[in-house]
Amino acid sequence: MTEEEAILRLRAAGCVFAEDEAAVLAGAADGERALAALVERRCAGEPLEQVVGFADFGGVRVRLRPGVFVPRVRSELLVRVAVEEAGRHTDPLVVDLCCGSGALGLAVREKVSGLCLHAADLDPVAVACARDNLGGDVHQGDLFTALPPELKGRISVLLANVPYVATRHIPFLPAEARDHEPRTALDGGDDGLTVFRAVLAEAATWLAPAGLLLSEITDAQVDAAIAVVAGNGLTPAVVTDDDLDARVITARR
Ligand SMILES: C[S@@+](CC[C@H](N)C(=O)[O-])C[C@H]1O[C@@H](n2cnc3c(N)ncnc32)[C@H](O)[C@@H]1O
């Protein structure tokens, strides 16, 4: 299949950005037969980033695998706040908890020299993908149980982009997310804050003195998330970026 044919096929399948996507797919395909196979996967609804095996995020190219959460542009706010915070610490220790592909940790590491980075996720496919991106120090397991115990009380910046979609909102997500990203990457329980609460319950014991935790939340979750942070003895603050339609709650020890 030529790139021209790819444009027509994508357009017929309802792809809004057929020209742009055909160019990305052609760039990733090794020949016309390979391009035809990638185009068919895209037409079947798989996210473009999973089809081509990468996402450009926060100034870095992140390798992706099928079934791994695609980093969202709005999460660049998390990276920005984490980079600013890491710059305030000497020899910062950064942890990317619920790391998925490791996109956040990778983008922060690219911008802050000399940091020590650990990442962790429950999902073995995500862990393998994060190892593709980050190399070593990627751990598998449930939240903090995955981390080496010697990190306790030493984390300068704790990125925790946990699943935060309220269960009742899952059916309204785009099909690309519902059908091609694991439910465990999206579903945050009744009000979307179940995993967030579990992280906050332990965060104070893992953060260094004056260390900072950061999580993305929705507008509707702001008041409840602030109460969770304060209820766990940490100091809450909220950072927003209207252009990115992003909200980050921070929790300072
Ligand atoms: C919203 S995705 C974020 C991924 C990545 N941080 C990013 O921004 O692209 C949430 C991630 O949390 C992981 N996860 C969900 N529950 C978890 C748990 N109990 N322990 C560790 N990771 C978990 C999922 O596997 C998924 O990769």
* CATH code of the domain containing 168: 3.40.50.150
Per-residue pLDDT of the chain (253 residues; tens, 9 = 90+): 999 999 999 999 999 899 999 999 999 999 999 999 999 999 999 999 999 999 999 999 999 999 999 999 999 999 999 999 999 998 999 999 999 999 999 999 999 999 999 999 999 999 999 999 999 899 999 999 999 999 999 999 999 999 999 999 999 999 999 999 999 999 999 999 999 999 999 999 999 999 999 999 999 999 999 999 999 999 999 999 999 999 999 999 9
**pLDDT number for residue 26:** 96
Domain count, the chain: 2
Last residue of a domain, one of 14, 39, 63: 63
162 CA distance to ligand 1 middle (Å): 5
Q: Within 10 Å of residue 208's Cβ, how many Cβ atoms?
A: 18
Alpha-carbon span 41 to 180, nearest angstrom: 11
Atom of ligand 1 nearest to the CA of 162: 10
Give ∠ CA 114-118-212 in degrees, rounded to 5.
80
Alpha-carbon span 158 to 152, nearest angstrom: 12
Residues 57 and 93 reside in one and the same domain: no
Q: Which residues contact 139 (CB under 8 A, 6 or more apart)?
A: 118, 119, 120, 127, 146, 147, 148
In a domain, 129, yes or no: yes
Would the pTM count as exceeding 0.85?
Answer: yes
Instruction: List ligand 1's pocket residues with C-beta within 6 A.
Output: 69, 71, 75, 98-101, 103-104, 121-123, 126, 142-143, 161-163, 184-185, 195
In a domain, 210, yes or no: yes
**pLDDT number for residue 136:** 85
Contact 20, 36 (CB under 8 A): no
Last residue of a domain, one of 63, 94, 112: 63
Residues 188 and 217 reside in one and the same domain: yes
Helix pair angle (3-12, 32-43), 10° resolution:
10
In a domain, 68, yes or no: no
Domain extent at residue 137: 73-252
Residues 160 and 203 reside in one and the same domain: yes
Residues 172 and 90 reside in one and the same domain: yes
Q: Which residue has the tokens 């260094």?
A: 208
Closest Cα to atom 2, ligand 1: which residue? 185
Residues 84 and 55 reside in one and the same domain: no
Contact 208, 153 (CB under 8 A): yes
In a domain, 166, yes or no: yes
Residues 56 and 93 reside in one and the same domain: no
Last residue of a domain, one of 17, 41, 63: 63
Instruction: Give the DSSP letter of residue 240.
Output: E
Residues 244 and 150 reside in one and the same domain: yes
Residues 239 and 131 reside in one and the same domain: yes
Secondary structure (DSSP) of 56-93: EETTEEEE--TTSPPPPGGGHHHHHHHHHHHTTSSS-E
Atom of ligand 1 nearest to the CA of 159: 6
Contact 230, 236 (CB under 8 A): yes
Residues 194 and 104 reside in one and the same domain: yes
Give ∠ CA 145-251-151 in degrees, rounded to 5.
35
Helix pair angle (32-43, 18-28), 10° resolution:
130
Distances (CA, A) of 252 to 63, 208, 210, 213: 31, 10, 6, 6
Residues 36 and 158 reside in one and the same domain: no
Residues 106 and 182 reside in one and the same domain: yes
**pLDDT number for residue 144:** 98
Alpha-carbon span 82 to 202, nearest angstrom: 19
Closest Cα to atom 24, ligand 1: which residue? 185
3-state secondary structure of 37: helix
Instruction: Give the DSSP letter of residue 187.
Output: B
Alpha-carbon span 206 to 126, nearest angstrom: 23
> What does the block give as tokens for 95?
């942890």
Residues 55 and 149 reside in one and the same domain: no
